Structures are given as structure tokens and as C-alpha cells.
Amino acid sequence: MAEPPFRGVFCAAATPFDADLKPDADRLIAHCRFLLDEGCHGIALLGSTGEANSLSLDERMALLERVVEAGIPPDRLLPGTGVSAYPETVALTRHALSLGVTRVVMLPPFYYKGIPDQGMIDSYARIVEEVADPRLGVIFYHIPPIAQIPIPFPVIEALLGRYPGSFVGIKDSGGQLDNMLGLVERFPGLAVLPGADPLMLPLLQKGGAGCITATSNLLARDLRTVFDFYDDPGRTLDVEAAQARIVGLRTISNTYAQLPTIKALIARRTGDDGWLRVRPPFVSLSDEERASLDALVAAAG
């Protein structure tokens, strides 16, 4: 059976903003270093948790440049480059490759609903052909709860057949373990990574490749424990304890709107209220909501 081309715990990193709601590169760089020190194999910048669809192309490019210039290794970055207009996806992807970043997470063309499989195939094909770089490794981003369109198996099969080596993984944020297990079974050479932290363990046990998740902003060490020792009988208790903490904090993070909640929990960890800032249309948690969140975290130990 073919092995996934890469594996690991990857953080869907939040994006900090300054007082003018401009991306705060210095805070982001410090956060990236923290995440790598905590055990993340890499960082998925500029995705849903990173509020990428609220950033301009120039802002996205500038942030990625600053992170790479600060010494974060490009081969440990998985930036999001997928937007609705494929020429902009091409521009973001070429820019990432110019910095030495070779793996990118790519949304489908998500604005129009009910598009035929062929339309999605044509969109991804156009991007790969216009980028025209053999280094490119695309990670599909399947997130139907937000995008409102799935990435069907026939689309994946067609693209893998047409462009061998260009599509290397899929982040499945649909929340359906059966879909992820089906991906592992049907596409053994594709890295299948859940977007929900608690699902990493059962998926690893069936051939999954790790995760790309929001709660790893806070629990990277526990996720790394599960990843490293899920099949080690001598570490079963450690894995069970880590998994319990992962499930507990993921549950807490869903108490309010997840992205502002993740940022509130980062602010709580760092003591830096600058992390509370979000861009519209998101709204920061109220003082009462933050107090409730603090109580939940304290009760969870």
C-alpha cells in the first residue's frame, strides 16, 4: 500500500491584528516559533482559522514573506492559497513557491453552488497548469460546512490521475469520519488530515496522516503525544490522557464562535489581549463570554 507523501501535526494558525486591524507580523512570527517549539511539524497559515478570506492578496503575501524572512523554514509552512478567482489562486501559489514553500492548502472554487464535477476539475487543472511548477504540492481543502460545496471523490481521482505528484493531501473539515476513512481507503497515496482535533486519533489508527487543526494553537504538545505514540502499547495511558484533554478543549472552543474563542484562549495563555482582535464580520467575545470561558477552562483543569 502506498504511503502518504507527508505526515504530521499541523496548526491552522490564527492571525493576530494590531490596533488598526492590520495583520501583526511580529505577533504571528512569535506564535509560529511557539508552535514549532511545542511540537508542531508545521504551520498552516492563512486558512479559515487565520481569517484569510478577510485579508487582501497583498496582506497575505506580505505576511508569508515576513514569516519566511524571520527564519521559519518554508518546508514547514502550508499556507492557504485558494480563493474564488483562479487567477488570484495562481498568483498566491506562485508567490508561495517563490519563497520556497512547496505545499499549499487550496479551497475549491466555492462561491457558485451546485457546480458540476467537471467544473471543479477544470478549475484545479487550470491552476496547476498555469503555475507550471513541478515542486507544487496541493492539499485539497474540503470544508462543506463553510464552503457549502464538497470536493467529491471523482474529482480527486481525476486530478490525481491527470497530475501525478501535484496533489499530495486533503484537509477534511467536513467532520464526517466515514468520509475521511473512505479517502484513506480509496487514495492511499494521499495524506488525509482531519480539521477536527479529536478525529486525528481514530484516523491515524486507519492510515491517516495527522491533522491540520485550530485547537493545535493551544494543545500542540498533546496532539504530538497522540501522533507519536498512538500505536505504542507502552504509552496507551499517555495517549488516552492527551486525547481527553484534546476532546475537552475542543468542546470548550465550540462554546462560542470558534475563531474568536480560539483567539481568546491564546490571549489567556499569553496574557496578551492583542490576540482578542478579529476582523469583521467576526466579533470578539464579550467580557462576560470570556469570563465564562475562563471558568470552563479552569474547571477542566
The pLDDT of residue 56: 97
pLDDT at 3: 81
Cα–Cα distance measured from residue 90 to residue 222, given in angstroms and rounded to the nearest whole number: 36
Q: Output 265-268 pairs: Cβ under 8 A, ≥24 positions apart.
A: 265/217, 265/218, 265/293, 265/297, 266/14, 266/31, 266/217, 266/218, 268/293, 268/294, 268/297
**187 is written with which cell numbers?**
487514495
Per-residue CA distances from 96 to 57, 81, 84, 179, 196 (Å)? 12, 8, 18, 30, 26
CA neighbor of 23 nearest in space, from 278, 280, 217: 278
Amino acid in the structure at residue 141: Y
Cα separation, 50 vs 30, in Å, equals 15
What is the three-class DSSP state of 172?
strand
pLDDT along the chain (301 residues), means of 10: 87 98 98 98 97 97 98 98 96 98 97 95 98 98 95 98 97 97 96 97 97 96 98 97 96 93 96 97 96 92 74
CA 209 to chain centre: 13
For residue 270, the one-letter residue type is T
Closest CA to 211 of 259, 108, 139: 139
Instruction: Residue 40: name the closest of 64, 15, 73 by CA.
Output: 73
> What per-residue confidence (pLDDT) applies to 1?
58
Predicted TM-score of the model (pTM): 0.96
Phi-psi region of 2 (alpha: psi -120 to 50; beta: other; left: phi over 0): beta
